Amino acid sequence: MQSNQTFADLFRAGGVSRRDFLKFCSLTSVYLGLSPSMVPSIVEAMEKKVRTPVIWLHGLECTCCSESFIRSSHPTIEDLLFNMISLDYDDVLSATAGHQLEDVRRKTMKDYKGKYILAVEGNVSTKDDGVYCMVGGDSFLNTIKETAADAAAIIAWGACASFGCVQNAQPNPSGAAPISDIIKDKPIVKVPGCPPISEVMTGVVTHFHTFGTLPELDRFGRPKAFYNTRIHDKCYRRAFFEAGMFVRSFDDEATRKGWCLYKMGCKGPTTYNSCSKIQWNGGTSFPIGSGHPCIGCSEPNFWDKGPFYTRLAEVPFLGSDSNADKIGVIAVGAAAAGAAAHAAVTAVKKAKAGSEDNDKA
Amino acid sequence: MGRIIEEIYVWRLPVRLYHWINALCTVALFVTGLYIAAPLFNPPLGEAVWYKGMSWWRYLHFASAFIFVANFLFRMYWAVFGGDKYGRFGGFRPWSPAWWGKPFLEQVESYLFLRSEEPNYVGHNPVAALAHFLFIFCGSSFMIFSGLAMYGENNPGGFNSVWFGWMIPLFGSSYTLHWAHHLMAWIFPIYLIMHLYAVFRHDVVDRTSVTSSIVTGYKHKVEEEPV
């Protein structure tokens, strides 16, 4: 397939006449609520806009993002790959391999300088010059710097590329760093999740392809359309949360009745994602729907905020694992003991001073 | 008993009102906050629409939080514009080395039993002022900012999310901010123990009626007890 095909080319190849193509453009202007004078610009865009070239790199990762991506149902992955983007390089999905494939990457970088999207799955090993992640005979650290230099924008797929995920959890042996720590001079969209929901992934690509700009981002650089609200806000078990009806162990009556998993450590109230709206695998279910508490996989550093099955994180304190309540009780106890000791000393001093006064008298 | 030689009106009505509203709100916030973090009671089996178990605790927490915030703002107003000799920020200058000088050190020495003479202050002594600054001013400010940031999560793009939402990336994530809010809540019981101890001790040692002064507003100077 020609790599710089426009929509008009695609229509023509599909046997659509020029007359029908113009009808389609007029109808599109109606759907978009535009005035008839906008029709020529739509026609122009459809005739001149080439499919968005995408280079998809894989760093330190498990390919779960790709697995999720290829299961998209709205739009389908076929629609996306054949009609919207031109996935020029993906070392997992490409038919070619080795030098041939690396040449394709360099060619795309040259032909579409400043126009292609760099999609990154996984993060970057930075320790010891990045030797802990070698792809195509070079360190991933070098490859990503080289490929990012001429990209229009970067999409950071998944928790790895966005925030670091399990690779940079304590003690982070390979010095794994999220993309935003490595590339500072390019717009980056973070699409966190382990993996992200497929429709969210394709949605972000579709947005860039349709409007030519990145979607509106929140304070963490995530697209607001998908990461604006918490799982909790749209959770179908929210009514049980408000009612105070909680699962207390995984084999109780409440589990069977599908009550709220808050007490089982559900991170839904602090996790921004679309799982409770879009759900997974074409809307089949999502973790809470299957009776498992949310582990907050789209939140920064979620691995270090465990355990997954308690609400309150455990943190090292005085050489052992503690939580905020244990630390608080110890500190309150220390304050009470301090006050009692101080009171005792005061009493002794006072008694002494009193007896001295009595002696003088 | 020594005769009362002077009665001083120290805590004016706005200060006393602030104190008690703040005390009640803090207790309510601490208790409801802990409950929200670890809800204890389960309603009997039935429909979710019949119960408001968690909603009530959260409602109480938010309602007392807004009273707490309003009360705090009122106290800040009173400290700056109230013209109240004992209820203003006036003498508190921790950024100036002079403030940490003689009066502060003398008070610390006295608390550490290194001096027999108790320095006597009608209002707050410098150590008390520092404790109030750290626990009540900084502590409350943190709880208010982090609390409003989390409250704003209920309405993305709303007032609280726009004005206080920056706390979330500052602390790394919503979960970390919840954790910090939970941990910092413990400074209030710690403060309460220290506060009550210090008040009772001063009352016993100095006999200035400091305990009742937060109800009546009056402190007393008493004659040295003849031995």
Instruction: Judge whether B49 lies within some domain.
Output: no
The nearest alpha carbon in chain B to A313 belongs to: B179
* Weakest mean pLDDT among A32-46, A122-136, B182-196: A32-46
Q: What mean pLDDT comes out for the span B14-25?
A: 96
Q: Which residues of B touch A246 (CB under 8 A)?
A: 39, 42
| pLDDT top residue among A6 and B22 | B22
Which residues on neighbouring strands pair with residue A86, listed in sequence order?
A53
Give the Cα separation of B53 and A114 in Å (integer): 56
Asked if residue A58 and residue A14 are part of one domain, the reply reads no
- Indicate the residue of A230, A245, A267 with minimum beta-carbon distance to B51: A245
**Domain extent for B70:** 4-40+54-222
Nearest residue of chain B to residue A272 (CA atoms): B174
pLDDT exceeds cutoff 90 at B66? yes
Chain B: residue whose CA lies nearest to A312? B179
Q: Kindly report, residue by residue over A74-87, the tens digit of the pLDDT.
A: 778 887 777 778 88
d(CA A195, CA A298): 8
Q: Which residues of B touch A269 (CB under 8 A)?
A: 178
**Residues in B touching A335 (Cβ below 8 Å):** 190, 193-194
Residue A97 binned pLDDT confidence (cut-offs 50, 70, 90): confident
Residue A15: pLDDT band (50, 70, 90) is confident
Report the range out of A19-33, A239-253, B91-105 with the highest average pLDDT: A239-253
* Domain contains B191: yes
Task: Tell me the mean pLDDT in the region A30-36.
Answer: 74
Name which of B197, B204, B227 is nearest A357 (Cβ-Cβ): B227
Q: Say whether both A117 and A23 belong to one domain.
A: no
**Count of CB pairs separated by less than 8 Å, A with B:** 132
Nearest residue on chain A to B164, alpha-carbon basis? A219
A82/A61 same-domain check: yes
Q: Is the pLDDT of residue A1 over 50?
A: no
For all residues of chain A together, what is the average pLDDT? Answer: 87
- Tell me the pairing of strands B218-222 and B4-9: antiparallel
CA distance A67 to chain B (A): 27
**Beta strand extents in chain A (DSSP E only):** 52-58, 85-90, 117-121, 124-125, 134-135, 138-139, 153-157, 176-177, 188-191, 314-317, 320-323
Name the packing angle between helices B174-185 and A324-360 (round to 10°): 20
Inter-chain CB proximity B182 and A325 less than 8 Å: yes
Residues 6+ apart with CB under 8 A from B92: B99, B129, B130, B133
Q: Do A250 and A176 reside in the same domain of the chain?
A: no
How many domains does one find in chain A?
Answer: 4
Closest by Cβ to A339, choosing from B157, B194, B227? B194
Q: Is residue B209 part of a domain?
A: yes
Q: How confident is the model at residue B78 (pLDDT cuts 50, 70, 90)?
A: very high
Are residues A193 and A109 both part of a single domain? yes
Give a yes or no: residue B227 inside a domain. no
Domain that holds residue A238: 231-311
Residues of chain B contacting A263 with CB distance shorter than 8 Å:
38-39
pLDDT for A336 equals 93
Task: Please report the pLDDT score of residue A123 as a whole number.
Answer: 92
Residue B225 pLDDT grade (very low, low, confident, very high; cuts 50, 70, 90): low
Average pLDDT along chain B:
90
A299/B174 CB distance under 8 A: yes
Does residue B54 have a pLDDT over 50? yes
- Which tokens belong to A221? 């650089």
Q: Which of A37-51, A114-128, B176-190 has the lowest mean pLDDT?
A: A37-51
Assess whether pLDDT exceeds 60 at residue B226.
no
Which residue in B has a C-alpha nearest to residue A304's C-alpha? B176
Task: State which amino acid sits at residue A176.
Answer: A
Q: Which two tokens stand for residue B75?
A: 């106290």
pLDDT at B114 over 90: no
DSSP B136: I
B175 contacts A271? CB cut-off 8 A? yes
Q: What percent of chain A has pLDDT over 70?
A: 97
The pair of three-digit structure tokens given for residue B204, joined into one six-digit string: 């016993």
pLDDT digits (tens, 9 = 90+) for A133-183: 998 889 999 999 999 999 999 999 999 999 999 999 989 999 999 999 999
Q: What's B24's domain CATH number?
A: 1.20.950.20
Asked if residue B48 belongs to a domain, the reply is no
Q: Report pLDDT digits (tens) over B191-210.
A: 999 999 999 998 888 888 88
Q: Which two tokens stand for residue B198?
A: 């210090």
Mean predicted confidence (pLDDT) in A55-70: 91
Domains held by chain B: number: 1
- Do A145 and A32 have their domain in common? no
| Distance to chain B for A237, nearest Cα, Å | 10
A11 in any annotated domain: yes
Closest listed residue to residue A201, CA positions, set A164, A170, A161, A241 = A161
Q: Is the pLDDT of residue A34 over 80?
A: no
What distance in Å separates residue B115's CA from the closest CA in chain A? Answer: 11
Q: Which residues from chain B sit within 8 angstroms of residue A331, using beta carbons?
A: 186, 190
The confidence band for A62, taking pLDDT boundaries of 50, 70 and 90, is very high
Place of tokens 């601490």: B30
**Taking CB atoms and an 8 Å limit, are B166 and A345 in contact across chains?**
no
Is the pLDDT reported for residue A338 higher than 90? yes
What sign does the dihedral B112-B118-B124-B125 (CA atoms) show?
negative
pLDDT digits (tens, 9 = 90+) for A268-322: 999 999 999 999 988 899 999 999 999 999 999 999 888 899 888 777 777 777 8
* A296 contact residues in B (CB cutoff 8 A): 175
Query: How much is the pLDDT for B102?
Result: 83
- pLDDT for A285 equals 92
Q: Higher confidence at residue A321 or residue A121?
A: A121
Position A357 scores a pLDDT of: 64
Q: Does B113 touch chain A (CB under 8 A)?
A: yes
Largest Cα span, chain A: 120
Quick one: pLDDT at residue A9? 80
Instruction: Residue A224: list chain B partners with CB under 8 A.
Output: 156
Are A57 and A167 contained in the same domain?
yes
Last residue of a domain, one of A227, A243, A263: A227
B119 vs A65, residue with greater confidence: A65
- Per-residue pLDDT at A358: 65
